[in-house]
Chains A and B, each alone.
Chain A
Amino acid sequence: MSKSKRFLAAAGLTASVFGLAVGLLGLAPKSVARAAEVKVADPTSVVMIVNRDSNDIAFMDIKTKKIVGKTFLGNNANPHMVMMSPDGRYVVTGGTRANKAFIIDSHTLELVKIIPVDVAPEHLAFSPDSRWYYQGNPEGDSISVIDMQSLTKIKTIPGFAEPLNVTFTPDGTKAYIGNYGAHWVGVVDVRRHELMKKIQIAAPPGTAKLDPGRYLGELHGINIATPTPDGRFLYAADGALGMVGVIDTREDKVIKTIQVGKDPWRAYMSHDGKYVVIPNNGDETISIIDTSSNKVAATLEAGPGMVGVNFAAGKAFVISSSSGFVYVYNMSSLRPAGRIKLGTNVQLETATTDTADQKIYLAESTTNEVVIIDARTEAVERVGNVGLYPWGTHIMDSKDNYCH
């Protein structure tokens, strides 16, 4: 081989090896998807369980009732409420002790972002378009606004009094904030993320000054403004006043106040929008309001420490936390239909209902179980070892996703 040819051969060899090195070391523009293992292919197929003391979110397959994965959030996170974004991409939760929001990839169950928020985050909500995640910080009296596109906190809205729950209007333009430390509902402009106005549900009665123990003691204000399915009206129960205010969202004003029992916890909307069920913890009754007339249609005996209401199979299931009972009511006749005993000396937390409105998934923290109640037959099944101190459950698009 001539000298020039040998040289060309060497140069070509150089270039080839170099190109091979480039390819092997992945210097080409990254076009290969991340190889993280997909644990949940379908976000609608799982129940999410908040485990307060093990600081994780467990994912249980609805069909097999097996835990398919857990996402550990970190020491002392104390997650409170979990939600799946409406587009099914992310699962989010606020860590009450950590003062942080946690974003989890709903498919790989990997923790993708931790965002510092304000003091003691608890309940949260997504805007209908999945763009905004509003994290309520009751101890910080603020709402943290997190942009789900960039996964960053873009704003903290101040000016609340123990904001407990957020409700977005169906068009996503406004959000209503229940203030448990006050007697008003805050209205937030979602475009600007600012508190626009405060809607007072009712004023304390004139005799309030004669009863400082009741009105100046611990204030049980407004937990949540519960929307009707069309988003036209909100029902906000005020614990201290024993009233439910009906708010017209078009005009942002109270159109009616309805007296219910003592110390109402909050309003729960039936799935057909016909009735609102209010557990009254002060006198252990429930008030059922007919939304067409905005009057109390029935006041029925219930139990102590009610923390949630779920609707399924034409019935309402009222969770009495400390008694271990779930009280059942027929929503057609508005009559009591018995109660289900789940245990003695157990603590029941909150529950979610599946999207077929047939089964209820209730967290029981004493035994670290999720209790599955068949709403039609009222049969009970238990899934144990879901984590330490399960606090609540969530199913994507369930009509009963709430927290206490």
Chain B
Amino acid sequence: MLRVSKYTIVVTTLVLMTASLVMAQAPQKQSQAEMIARLQQLQKELAELEAAAAAVQAPAKVAAAPQAGQRGAQAPAPAQQGGRGQAPAAAPAQTPGMPPGMVMPAGPTGGDPNNPEGLPADSTNPQALLDRIKLLEDKIRYLESNVVLTDPETRVRKKTVYVDKNGIEYDQPTAGAKKTVTYERERVFRRNNINEKIEEALSDAEEHHVQVGVNAGIVSQFAHRTKGDALVQDDGTVIKDNKAYMLASADLFFTAGIAQNTIFFADIVGLSGPPPDLELGTLSLVNGYSARLVNQNELNLREAWLRTELFSNKLALTAGRLDLTNYFDHNVAANDETSQFISDALVNNGALGLAENGAGVAIVFDPKGGFNFKAGFQQSSHTATNLSDSIYSLAELGYVTRLPGMGEGNYRFWYRTDNTKGTGYNIGFGTSIDQKLGPQVTLFGRYGESQANPERDKFYSGGFQFAQGLAFYPGDKWGVGFSQIDPVAGGKEQLVEGYYNFSIAEKFNLSFHVQHFIEADGGAKRGYLVPGIRLQASF
């Protein structure tokens, strides 16, 4: 017979009710078996991740582009362990370190790095199991975020180390060790996709190889005498009227980056065809391309120089065979005979007096703050037997400003000396100005004086350029210009030119020119109207 007191029944009911509440409200509490299963799963994931990381870290053939090129081949800052996800390069198959601030329990007692506490496999301590689960989850999370499972990039970086008298290298300042700079290879993991990798490889290849460019132009001109008698040359030849001329020019230039901030440049030019300058007898060149002409149908090394930049790229030094006027007497609206005016008198200052290229040095100081200073010298005669007998030197001060109500303006002042004539140093000075009157209109002007004892030869030029939409097509530009040369020795030239440049394609331009020259010699005046077409292609 079962004797059950009512109190027992009440208490039993109470216990049952409480137990059911606990079971209903705590479905998330894991059983021990579940915890152990989770633990095993995490250990398996961790092992897989570490194995994959070890496979990546093992010395292996690296990608063909050892440096990342434009994306930064040499990082100046020292590598921080853990910060860049770099596994230690010294030991392959090494487990990456723990997340910062995470304390690893005491060293392995059971020989299993995944079980540093040496818990037996059948541990029944729930809290210990939970702690282990958390530790493993944190470790996996760290690995997943910091171990990049892609091919590593290798790059070289500058590193500061400390070397003692025995040649032992230390990473930290050490007594008796001297601070020095060295270079070391490091592996960097990047999550680049294949397109980015290809782009990096291509731009890296571009930076480390010679780049070749072509600049080709054909100028066809026609000369019609508008004033005066026909010109008679020294040998008695009478220059007939209404003749056509054509000059083809091809520039092949090479550029190569040979060191940090240092490039090599070479320009080979070939010209063919008769320009009008051979017959018209003008004081300045009708076709500005003729300035490059030495002998027809011959290749000529026009320029070959090395250029490097120093002091945070503020100072540029160029040395070699160069054209000093490439660095001086610039003008935004009238500087380039291949795309602007074709008359030499409108793209150069007649008072500069530099006839040919030669060996020399150019220094440009430009902190990009508005002021710039340039200086240079070069050999000015190819027949001179030493540099001292034909040295041409030039210095220029430039300033960028913005006048109220107008756009930006460039103001340049130069001074030069030249002893080519063998009669001492011949000096000259001048200015080149271009000022934006508005977004579409640029006013330009040049003035120069050249010593011609006892007086001075004078040169003037000026005009306007119209662009930025004030044309048929967006890339087109056109201009009008005037120049006058007053040499002391006699003669005088006045020139007017107008041109329109069609921007047909990004690499192809077509322009039309009309020039009118008036040459005065003594009391006689002779005038020429020279219309022309220019085709210019550049690659």
Contact = CB atoms under 8 A, between A and B. Distances in A.
Complex: A in contact with B (CB within 8 Å): yes
A300 to B, nearest CB: 6
Contact of B260 (A13, A205, A344): A344
A205 B368 CA distance: 35
A6 B369 CA distance: 99
Given A17-B14, A54-B85, A335-B401, A78 B77 contact: no
Contacts of B83: 368, 384-385, 387
B23 to A, nearest CB: 11
Given A211-B505, A322-B70, A334-B408, A339 B22 contact: no
A355 interface: no
B474 interface: yes
B505 A341 contact: no
B211 to A, nearest CB: 15
B91 interface: no
Interface string B138-153: 0001001110100000
A384 B14 contact: no
A261 B438 CA distance: 15
A18 B368 contact: no
Interface string B65-77: 0001011111111
Contacts of B227: none
A102 B190 CA distance: 22
A173 interface: no
Given A11-B10, A54-B145, A241-B474, A344 B76 contact: yes
A207 B504 contact: yes
B124 interface: no
B351 to A, nearest CB: 27
A300 B408 contact: yes
B60 interface: no
A10 B505 CA distance: 100
Given A210-B505, A327-B368, A336-B370, A367 B438 contact: no
Interface in B400-429: 400-402, 407-408
Tell me whether chain B's interface is mostly helix, strand or loop, or mixed.
Answer: loop
A334 B368 CA distance: 13
Interface stretch (A21-29, A30-38, A128-136, A223-231): A21-29
Contact of A17 (B18, B25, B468, B502): B18
Contacts of A214: 505-506
Contacts of A258: 439
A100 interface: no
B343 to A, nearest CB: 25
Contact of B22 (A14, A21, A54, A72): A21
A13 B14 CA distance: 9
A325 B368 CA distance: 11
A68 interface: no
B226 interface: no
Contacts of A345: 72-75
A94 B42 CA distance: 29
Contacts of A56: 145
A242 interface: yes
Contacts of B190: 53, 389
A343 interface: yes
Contacts of B313: 325, 341
Contacts of A295: 438-439
A18 B20 CA distance: 11
B117 to A, nearest CB: 26
A339 B26 CA distance: 64
Nearest to A214: B506
Contacts of A54: 85, 145-146
B191 A335 contact: no
Given A14-B13, A56-B145, A389-B191, A25 B76 contact: no
Contact of A347 (B72, B400, B468, B473): B72
Contacts, number: 170
B469 A52 contact: no
B373 interface: no
B70 A347 contact: yes
A384 B7 contact: no
B408 A384 contact: no
A367 B141 CA distance: 23
B504 A337 contact: no
A299 B442 CA distance: 12
A53 B189 contact: yes
B237 interface: no
A115 interface: no
Interface in A318-358: 322, 325, 327, 333-339, 341, 343-347
Given A206-B473, A299-B408, A382 B14 contact: no
Contacts of A388: 84-85, 146, 148, 189, 191
Which bracket fits the contact residues of B? Answer: 35 or more
A389 B148 CA distance: 12
Interface string A52-86: 11111000000000000000100110100000000
A291 interface: no
B368 A369 contact: no
Nearest to A287: B439
Nearest to A53: B191
B64 interface: no
B295 interface: no
Contacts of B72: 345-347, 365-367
A297 interface: yes
Contacts of A10: 6-7, 10-11
A207 B505 contact: yes
B439 A301 contact: no
A296 interface: yes
B84 A334 contact: no
B37 interface: no
B368 A213 contact: no
Contacts of B31: none
Interface string B1-28: 0000011001101100110011001100
B513 to A, nearest CB: 20
B191 A76 contact: yes
B425 to A, nearest CB: 34
A367 B367 CA distance: 26
Contacts of A296: 407, 439, 468
A255 interface: no
Interface in B460-487: 468-469, 473-475
B503 interface: yes
Contacts of A18: 14, 17-18, 21
Nearest to B332: A299
A388 B369 CA distance: 34
Interface in A189-248: 205-207, 210-211, 213-214, 241-243
Contacts of A154: none
B80 interface: yes
A296 B70 CA distance: 31
B385 interface: no
B101 to A, nearest CB: 11
A200 to B, nearest CB: 15
A336 B401 CA distance: 9
Given A26-B25, A347-B72, 20 more contacts: A6-B7, A21-B22, A75-B144, A206-B473, A211-B504, A214-B506, A297-B402, A298-B402, A300-B400, A335-B402, A336-B369, A336-B400, A344-B74, A347-B70, A365-B71, A368-B84, A382-B77, A388-B148, A388-B191, A389-B191
Interface of A: 6-7, 10-11, 13-14, 17-18, 21-22, 25-27, 52-56, 72, 75-76, 78, 97, 205-207, 210-211, 213-214, 241-243, 258-259, 295-301, 305, 322, 325, 327, 333-339, 341, 343-347, 365-369, 382, 384-385, 387-389
Across chains A and B, which 5 residue pairs bring their CB atoms closest together, nearest first? A366-B72, A385-B83, A211-B505, A296-B439, A338-B369
24 contacts: A10-B7, A13-B10, A18-B14, A18-B21, A21-B18, A53-B148, A54-B145, A72-B141, A211-B505, A242-B474, A242-B475, A258-B439, A297-B402, A297-B439, A300-B408, A322-B70, A333-B402, A339-B367, A344-B76, A347-B72, A365-B72, A385-B83, A388-B148, A389-B191
